[in-house]
Structure 1
Amino acid sequence: MEFKNKIERLLEDFLKNREDLFLIDLKISANDDVTIILDGDEGVTLQDCLDASRAVEFNMDREAHDFSLQVMSAGLSEPLSMPRQFKKNIGRSLDILLQNDTRIEGELTKVEEDSITLLLRYRKPKEIGKGKIDVEEEKIIQFQDIKKALVTIKF
């Protein structure tokens, strides 16, 4: 447990100096393979990953504890898990799976402390006559109701 605590402290110290970056996940396997996943308000560069790696690795004694270290950015295939991640994706399209297994896709327009707002665009049948009409509506979704949220890429 001391090994994990030292890694967490070193990472915490690094992130205090880099307030634009934040920790998404820290995993330490039984074989002491350390994986750190970072995200940033303006994205994460290769240099950011190198800096984080150095901040941890250069302050650990490999003679006392052998480990492998991998630092990476949260990719587009990773689900959004923190309000801070949602904020940096305002204006993008999200595919959201709710706790009740309902899927919703829409443009993220607003992030509040406990919820997000999506702009939904779809076609629905006319109330009178044949054909369909375009509809835009806003839907507020509480963070607690989100099972999984992914940024969708449109070409």
Structure 2
Amino acid sequence: MIDKQVVETIVSQYLESELPELYLVDIAVHPGNRIVVELGSDEGVGIDECVHITKHIESNLDREVEDYELEVGSAGLTSPFKVLRQYEAAIGEEVEVLCRGGVKEKGVLLSATAEAIGLQVVRRIKPEGAKRKQDVEQELSISMEEILQTKRIIKI
């Protein structure tokens, strides 16, 4: 079976030297040597970049020694975030965060670090003495350890 670390090194070095605007989101090596490489970029990943990376990987892995299937593509717009750079690219956008315990928070991503994210949410709260609930904006800090999944909310 092809080693994931070998593929990761091949891709990372190529991105660093040839396509620094792209970053590696994930690499998976499935049974039967099915290699899936997910890339990200602040401006989007084009088919030409995927072709270049595919050719580079193929030139560094020998099919005669070990056969494999290779898929190189963009991390989907609606796919869960996997790396910090995806969070950083989504600052200012609306996201949905699934936390441990099944709690979901929807709001605008304000900040992202390796430790936590900042999220601006709207809560319906009934102020004291008021007859109706009102929308109140709150800022939450959610630690990365509490986050199970984060996705962009796409509005049409």
With normalisation by structure 2, the TM-score equals 0.89
Q: CA RMSD in A?
A: 1.8
8 A contact 1:11–1:56 mirrored in 2: yes
Corresponding residue for residue 58 of structure 1: 59
Map residues 6-155 of structure 1 onto 2, 5 A cutoff: 6-17=6-17, 18-155=19-156
Partner SS state of residue 102, structure 2:
coil
The structural deviation recorded for 1:25 is 1.5
Q: 1:113 to 1:27 in 2, by over 3 A?
A: closer
8 A contact 1:26–1:37 mirrored in 2: yes
Partner SS state of residue 151, structure 2:
strand
Which ranges of structure 1 fall in alignment gaps of 5 or more residues? none
Q: 1:35 to 1:111 in 2, by over 3 A?
A: same
The structural deviation recorded for 1:124 is 2.0
4+ long deviations beyond 3 Å: 1-6
Percent identity, aligned pairs only, is: 30
Cα distance in 2 for residues equivalent to 1:109 and 1:143: 14
8 A contact 1:42–1:88 mirrored in 2: no
Cα distance in 1 for residues equivalent to 2:123 and 2:4: 48
Partner SS state of residue 126, structure 1:
coil
Amino acid across the alignment from 2:10: L
Amino acid across the alignment from 2:9: R
Query: In the TM superposition, what whole-angstrom CA distance separates every residue of 1:104-125 from its partner, at most 9, and x where no partner exists?
Result: 1110011234111111123222
Amino acid across the alignment from 2:44: G
Cα distance in 1 for residues equivalent to 2:151 and 2:9: 30
8 A contact 2:120–2:137 mirrored in 1: yes
Amino acid across the alignment from 1:39: G
Amino acid across the alignment from 1:43: G
Cα distance in 2 for residues equivalent to 1:113 and 1:15: 22
Q: 1:26 to 1:133 in 2, by over 3 A?
A: same
The structural deviation recorded for 1:48 is 1.7
Instruction: Count residues with an aligned counterpart.
Output: 155
Cα distance in 2 for residues equivalent to 1:135 and 1:62: 59
